[in-house]
């Protein structure tokens, strides 16, 4: 066995480990394939490394995935674009493996390489590869082939183009539904490269066949194709070819297809233009909003703002708003939650008057919903309405909703509302906040659930940032410091963490005057957990406060903690002391 | 303790698997190549920590998936967990001609050279005691190292050669924690993308590629479990319509549901139920009405169902009554009481159809199974025995005397006497599968698999 020179040793190991028994080592080697290629040089990379990789493709999926990814940016390592074709064989085999993520990555890399290749090389190497995959024995190859046509087609001469189109046609009618799905999914990309004449004839025929497929999964993927193809076609062609498809999809027997339409209708509107939207698609959308399947209504309700954005305010009020009213009392809570998450965005679109007349009652209704998610979704988007009508009209209903959410028995709900408090505070203003919400914020510090107490501490910090240190000094800090006398140590810990969060916001002076004494006092706590948290906190305060304070107050306290019987306390005190030293030296 | 076959299944191109409990292993027999081999014996005893229940080591159902790249895929399920397996031939590889001799690979003071060398020239990575690879620090390539433009001639790629192939089965995905009750069936959708799994009260829809979520499509669990009157016993997708599936219940009904109508398919599209003849009701009526297995037949136009006493063929377009009823072991009717006593009455017999849909088959006791002609007008009805006897030829029962029994019997079959009125309830033939194209039936009786060529 040859011994390897010292500087080459790591590379030698890297190469050897391409075939190690341990998958982690193989993965590591594959990830650094470019280093190996540089060590072997361009010539030997082409002649040895790439064939080696092509032959050794019987590996774990993770390794294959990494290989597919690395090869995508390997052109410089094989000697530039003129040699790019040597990379195709290993990727071609990766296109046929049964793991979808590996195949997708291989296709992506092939596209990346193919788009850099010279036109003649594409004809000589890439197009034959596409044809081979398209006629592959197993469906995996054919699925991959569909994603390569848009790279191959532009470089192909006329005769070859006709052939490629016929191969794609076969793929659209493949026996395997997964191949048809892939053909449907990639049709938009392929269509974008096809000349207009063939687009109208061939591609539209493929499309029509896919939209009439027996398999729901194929049909629902072609919904996306509607928007993509619609953008490529002339408006007139779009109306004759795409619009009827959309309308019939919106009444498809399968709720999954209708669900897809509901999700994408607003994009389809852009494709067909304003007039057909008004005459055809608004009625279709109204039907979807009134669909008898809740999943479809959820999707439709979630897009109501986007849809109103592309139609006139008048037609939104006339056609969509009545449906929205009905949805706000829908029997499915998920429909109401989806509506609540977007409905606030309708206010700027409809203008002040319509918002007050029509939307406000709906908001108020939803704020009283029995399902907390609905209320939360309304509250989270408050800023959008505030801009249009101001907060006053809502504030009376807001408060009970907030108070109720704040005391909800599910802690996740409480957590969610805490996270919106800074937003609410900025919308409602200091006065309203002080009156109504201040006590709530303190109440959360004493919650039974740790996550709530933690969020509450963080909330105080954000409030202090919002309203300024002075306000914090008056309204937050005294109450927080008072809680340090809580008999339970976990609550005392919360106070400490609140102090550590507030300290950077309120500045050195307030910290030293009011908060530091409390912390120093807590160092005498009987619970070690408190004590080492004090040590940690003092360490975090060092950069904030004056060096004299560090020297006179913090350091003596830490010295004391450093003598503590508890090992953890000593450890953190020691850490903090080291930090002290560093600050002193600097 | 003997292994007992718990499931048998034919794949689309004629490959066959058989699941055993106890060892939780699968046997695969490839009929095309006439070789047989054990695929795996895997997985130790499992435990559901949430329910403090021991999960029985038994494969309840096996379904074949789409093949790709010469590898076969199958779904198997035990009571709680579904697994996707890949069975393929893998080349065993040897690596040699490494750059650094593994035995001298401790140059930088790392304790890596102490590992045993596995293959003659390749080396095994160092293993720590718990089996994981020891994290070793590879010396970094120094930052001022300049790669010469032509590469470094002294470095080379290792040589790999393969000397033999082995059949390898690997678990690709595990779909767990979705069922609160025991899974009784799994079935692939014709879209090759999804499948369903059914337990006693719910049916879930999965995507084959997504193992961490599934959608509940049927839920018959009553709010109050005391109101429970029926459970799901079997479920199957339509062979070509991706939106249709059928499930059977312990009350003897079959429901056909259309997944296009709604996301939650608690309402059925069609209900197949036979009105019981008045006056025939007895204590056992409800028990023996329970359907143990259903299969779509002839492209999905018919549904075959097996209840305790009969095999029924339903036309999908006729809900009121089956188009044909085949009596499997009518002679047991007077014995229902005994069968109830020894719990045999709860045995779940499977049923199957020939590839052309012309015949149907199902199992019985004493290692017998019965084959019936399923085309209108056919009176074919034969009884066969699964045994090792050399005289295991299929013998056609004269068509007019369809009720004569026991006309096929191996001489040395243990445990039962001919015409002695003694039925061997322990040797029951629950699982059988018909080859999709050839006229071959595979029957799993106790610990053996029998093949019948018609």
Nearest to B305 by CA among B348, B269, B346: B348
Q: Tell me whether residues A39 and B68 touch, CB distance under 8 A.
A: no
Query: Looking at beta carbons, which residues of chain A come within 8 Å of B67?
Result: 138
pLDDT > 90: percent of chain A:
27
Partner A contacted by B240 (CB < 8 A): yes
Residue of B nearest to A28 (CA): B138
How far apart are the C-alpha atoms of B67 and B432, rounded to whole Å? 22
Question: Where do the structural domains in chain B lie, given as residue ranges?
Answer: 3-20+54-92+167-394+422-453
Contact list, B95 vs chain A (CB under 8 Å): 19
Q: Could you tell me which of B426, B428, B406 has the C-alpha nearest to residue B417?
A: B406
Of B118, B151, B192, the CB nearest to A177: B192
Q: Which residues between 232 and 271 in chain A have a beta carbon less than 8 angstroms from any beta carbon of chain B?
A: 253-256
With beta carbons less than 8 A apart as the criterion, state whether A469 and A507 touch.
Answer: yes
Residues B64-91 have a mean pLDDT of: 82
Calculate how close chain B gets to A218, using CA atoms only, in Å: 9
Please give the residue of chain A at the shortest CA–CA distance from B151. Answer: A41
Q: At residue B134, what are phi and psi to the nearest 5 degrees?
A: -70, 130
The more confidently predicted of residues A405 and A190 is: A190
| Average of per-residue pLDDT values in chain A | 87
Residue B155: which of A1, A12, A100 has the nearest Cβ? A12
Look at chain A and count its residues. Answer: 586
Interchain CB distance below 8 Å, A140 and B101: no
* Selected residue of B73, B192, B207 to mutate for chain A interface (largest A Cβ count, 10 A): B192
Residues of B in contact with A12 (CB under 8 A): 99-100, 155
Distance from CA of B123 to the nearest CA of A (A): 8
More confident residue, B357 or A116: A116
Higher-pLDDT residue of A267 and B28 is A267
Record: contact A138-B69, CB cut-off 8 A: yes
Interatomic CA distance for residues A83 and A37, integer angstroms: 14
Pick one of 3.40.50.1820, 2.130.10.10, 2.60.120.10, 2.70.70.10 as the CATH number of B3-20+54-92+167-394+422-453: 2.130.10.10
Following CA atoms A386, A387, A392, A395 in sequence, which dihedral angle do they give, to the nearest 10 degrees?
0
Residue A297 CB partners (closer than 8 Å, separation 6+):
A262, A288, A289, A290, A291, A327, A330, A332, A335
A21 interfacial to chain B (CB closer than 8 Å): yes
Length of chain B, please? 454
In chain B, residues with a C-beta closer than 8 Å to the C-beta of A2 are 99, 154
The answer to whether residue B248 scores a pLDDT higher than 60 is yes
Are the beta carbons of A514 and A477 closer than 8 angstroms? yes
> Residue A321 — left, alpha, or beta (φ > 0 → left; ψ -120 to 50 → alpha)?
alpha
B317 touches chain A (CB under 8 A): no
Could you tell me whether strands B15-20 and B254-258 are parallel, antiparallel, or unpaired per DSSP bridges? unpaired
Taking every pair of Cα atoms in chain B, the longest distance, rounded to a whole number of angstroms, is: 96
Angle between helices A411-428 and A450-467 (to 10 degrees): 10
First-to-last C-alpha distance (Å) of chain A: 55
Count of other CB atoms within 10 angstroms of residue A566: 15
According to the model, what pLDDT value does residue B6 have? Answer: 58
Q: Which of B155, B156, B192 faces A176 most closely, judged by CB atoms?
A: B192
Q: Do A42 and B124 touch (CB under 8 A)?
A: no
Tokens standing for residue A541: 């305060």
Residue B336: pLDDT above 80? yes
CA-nearest residue to B68 within chain A is: A138
CB A46 within 8 A of CB A78: yes
A3 touches chain B (CB under 8 A): yes
Nearest chain A residue to B104 by CA distance is A3
Give the gap in angstroms from C-alpha B187 to the nearest C-alpha of chain A. Answer: 17
Contacts of A58 in chain B (CB under 8 A): 90-91, 93
- Cβ contact (<8 Å) for B193 and A3? no
Helices A177-191 and A216-232 cross at an angle (nearest 10°) of: 10
* Distance from C-alpha of A19 to C-alpha of B96, rounded to nearest angstrom: 10
Res A143: pLDDT:
94
Q: What is the nearest CA distance from B68 to chain A, expressed in angstroms?
A: 6
Distance, in Å, from the CA atom of B305 to the CA atom of B292, rounded to the nearest integer, reads 8
| First vs last C-alpha separation in chain B | 33
Please report the DSSP string for A259-305 in residue order: HHHHHHHHHHHHHH-HHHIIIIIHHHHHHHHT-SSHHHHHHHHHTHH
Give the model's confidence band at B139: pLDDT under 50 very low, under 70 low, under 90 confident, else very high. Answer: low
CATH architecture of A513-585: Alpha Horseshoe (1.25)
Q: Which residue has the tokens 């060398």?
A: B117
Contact B90 A58 (CB under 8 A): yes
pLDDT digits (tens, 9 = 90+) for B381-411: 888 877 765 444 444 433 333 333 333 333 3
Count of beta carbons in the 10 Å neighbourhood of residue B445: 24
CB of A4 within 8 Å of a chain B CB? The answer is yes
Rg (CA), chain B: 27
Q: In sequence order, what DSSP letters do the residues of A133-201 get, joined into one string?
A: HHT-SSHHHHHHHHTTHHHHGGGS-HHHHHHHHHHHHHHHT-SSHHHHHHHHHHHHHHHTTS-HHHIII
Identify from B13, B67, B68, B71 which residue to disrupt to test chain A contact, counting A C-beta atoms within 10 A and taking the largest count. B68
* Residue of chain B nearest A1, judged by CA positions: B101
Q: Which of A82-91, A373-382, A446-455, B402-411 has the highest mean pLDDT?
A: A82-91
Of the candidates B317, B315, B305, the residue with the CA atom closest to the CA atom of residue B234: B305
The string of pLDDT tens digits covering residues B255-305 is 999 998 888 887 888 888 887 777 677 788 888 899 999 999 888 899 999
Is A63 in contact with A69 (CB distance < 8 Å)? no
The distance of A184 to chain B (nearest Cα, Å) reads: 14
Residues in chain A with CB shorter than 8 Å from the CB of B262 are 255, 292-293
Mean pLDDT of A544-562: 84
Tell the residue number behind the tokens 């910290």, with chain if given.
A511
Q: pLDDT tens digit string along B2-56?
A: 345 555 665 544 455 544 443 344 444 433 333 333 343 333 344 444 444 555 6
Cβ–Cβ < 8 Å for A71, A88: no
**B7 beta partners:** B19
ipTM reported for the complex, 2 dp: 0.75
Q: Note whether B150 contacts A39, CB cutoff 8 Å.
A: no
């Amino acid at each position: 066995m040859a011994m390897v020179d010292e500087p080459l040793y790591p590379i030698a190991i890297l190469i050897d480990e391409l075939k190690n028994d341990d998958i982690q080592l193989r993965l590591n080697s594959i990830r650094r394939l470019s280093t190996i290629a540089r060590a072997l040089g361009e010539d030997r990379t082409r002649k040895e490394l790439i064939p080696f990789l092509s032959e050794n493709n019987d590996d774990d999926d993770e390794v294959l995935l990494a290989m597919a990814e690395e090869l995508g940016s390997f052109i410089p390592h094989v000697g530039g674009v003129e040699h790019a074709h040597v990379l195709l064989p290993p990727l071609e085999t990766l296109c046929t493996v049964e793991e979808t993520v590996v195949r997708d990555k291989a296709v992506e890399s092939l596209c990346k390489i193919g788009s850099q290749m010279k036109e003649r090389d594409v004809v000589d190497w890439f197009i034959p590869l596409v044809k081979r995959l398209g006629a592959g024995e197993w469906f995996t190859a054919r699925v991959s082939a569909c994603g390569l046509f848009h790279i191959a087609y532009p470089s192909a001469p006329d005769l070859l183009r006709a052939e490629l189109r016929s191969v794609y046609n076969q793929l659209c009618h493949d026996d395997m539904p997964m191949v048809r799905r892939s053909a449907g999914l990639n049709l938009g990309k392929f269509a974008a490269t096809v000349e207009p004449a063939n687009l109208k004839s061939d591609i539209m025929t493929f499309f029509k066949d896919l939209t009439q497929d027996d398999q729901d999964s194929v049909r629902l993927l072609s919904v996306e194709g509607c928007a993509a193809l619609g953008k490529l076609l002339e408006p007139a062609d779009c109306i004759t070819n795409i619009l009827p498809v959309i309308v019939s999809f919106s009444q498809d027997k399968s709720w999954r297809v209708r669900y897809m339409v509901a999700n994408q209708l607003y994009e389809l509107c852009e494709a067909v233009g304003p007039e057909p939207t008004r005459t055809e698609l608004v009625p279709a959308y109204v039907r979807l909003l009134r669909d008898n399947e809740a999943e479809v209504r959820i999707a439709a309700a979630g897009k109501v703002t986007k849809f109103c954005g592309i139609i006139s305010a008048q037609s939104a009020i006339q056609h969509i708003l009545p449906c929205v009213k009905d949805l706000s009392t829908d029997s499915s809570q998920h429909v109401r939650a989806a509506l609540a998450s977007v409905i606030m965005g309708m206010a700027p679109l409809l203008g002040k008057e319509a918002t007050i007349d029509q939307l406000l009652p709906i908001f108020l209704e939803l704020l009283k919903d029995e399902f907390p998610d609905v209320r939360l979704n309304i509250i989270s988007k408050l800023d959008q309405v505030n801009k249009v009508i101001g907060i006053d009209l809502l504030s009376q209903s807001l408060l009970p909703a907030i108070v109720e959410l704040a005391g909800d028995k599910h802690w996740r709900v409480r957590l969610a509302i805490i996270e919106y408090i800074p937003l609410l505070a900025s919308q409602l203003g200091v006065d309203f906040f002080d009156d109504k919400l201040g006590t709530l914020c303190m109440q959360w510090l004493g919650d039974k659930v740790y996550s709530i107490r933690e969020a509450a501490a963080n909330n105080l910090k954000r409030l202090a940032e919002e309203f300024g240190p002075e306000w914090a000094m008056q309204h937050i800090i005294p109450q927080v410091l008072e809680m340090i006398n809580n008999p339970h140590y976990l609550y005392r810990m919360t106070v400490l963490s609140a102090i550590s969060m507030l300290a950077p916001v309120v500045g050195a002076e307030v910290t030293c005057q009011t908060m530091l004494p409390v912390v120093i006092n807590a160092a005498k706590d009987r619970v070690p957990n408190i004590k080492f948290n004090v040590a940690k906190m003092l360490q975090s305060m060092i950069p904030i406060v004056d060096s004299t304070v560090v020297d006179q107050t913090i350091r003596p306290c830490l010295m004391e903690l450093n003598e503590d019987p508890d090992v953890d306390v000593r450890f953190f005190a020691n850490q903090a002391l080291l930090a002290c030293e560093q600050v002193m030296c600097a | 303790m003997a292994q007992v076959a718990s499931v048998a299944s034919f794949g689309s191109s004629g490959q066959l698997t058989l699941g055993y409990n106890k060892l939780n292993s699968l046997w695969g027999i490839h009929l095309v190549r006439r070789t047989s081999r054990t695929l795996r014996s895997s997985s130790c005893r499992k435990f559901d920590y949430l329910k403090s229940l021991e999960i029985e080591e038994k494969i309840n159902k096996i379904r074949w998936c789409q093949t790709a790249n010469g590898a076969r895929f199958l779904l198997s399920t035990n009571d709680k967990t579904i697994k996707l397996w890949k069975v393929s031939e893998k080349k065993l590889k040897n690596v040699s001609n490494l750059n650094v001799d593994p035995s001298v690979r401790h140059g930088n003071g790392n304790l890596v050279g102490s590992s045993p060398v596995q293959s003659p020239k390749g080396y095994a990575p160092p293993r720590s005691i718990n089996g994981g690879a020891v994290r070793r620090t590879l010396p970094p390539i120094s930052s001022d190292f300049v790669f010469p433009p032509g590469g470094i001639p002294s470095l080379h790629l290792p040589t790999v050669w393969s000397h033999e192939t082995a059949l390898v089965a690997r678990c690709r995905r595990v779909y767990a924690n979705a069922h609160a009750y025991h899974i009784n069936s799994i079935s692939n959708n014709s879209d090759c993308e999804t499948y369903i799994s059914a337990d006693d009260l719910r049916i879930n829809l999965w995507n084959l590629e997504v193992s961490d979520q599934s959608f509940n499509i049927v839920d018959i669990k009553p709010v109050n479990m005391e109101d429970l009157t029926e459970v799901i016993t079997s479920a199957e997708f339509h062979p070509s319509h991706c939106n249709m599936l059928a499930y059977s219940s312990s009350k003897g009904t079959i429901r056909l549901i259309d997944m296009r109508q709604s996301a939650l398919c608690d309402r059925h599209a069609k209900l197949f139920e036979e009105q019981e003849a008045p006056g025939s009701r007895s204590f056992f009526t409800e028990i023996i009405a329970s359907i143990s297995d259903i299969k779509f037949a002839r492209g999905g136009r018919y549904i075959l169902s097996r209840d305790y006493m009969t095999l029924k063929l339903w036309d999908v377009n006729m809900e009121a009554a089956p188009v044909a009823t085949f009596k499997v072991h009518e002679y047991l009717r007077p014995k229902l009481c005994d069968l109830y006593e020894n719990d045999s009455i709860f045995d779940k017999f499977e049923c199957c159809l020939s590839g052309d849909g012309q015949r149907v088959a199902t199992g019985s006791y004493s290692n017998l199974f019965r084959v019936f002609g399923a085309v209108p007008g056919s009176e074919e009805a034969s009884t066969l025995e699964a045994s090792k006897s050399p005289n295991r030829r299929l013998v056609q029962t004269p068509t007019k005397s369809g009720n004569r029994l026991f006309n096929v019997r191996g001489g040395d079959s243990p445990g039962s006497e001919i015409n002695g009125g003694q039925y061997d309830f322990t040797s029951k033939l629950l699982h059988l599968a018909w080859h999709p194209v050839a006229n071959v039936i595979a029957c799993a009786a106790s610990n053996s698999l029998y093949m019948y060529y018609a």
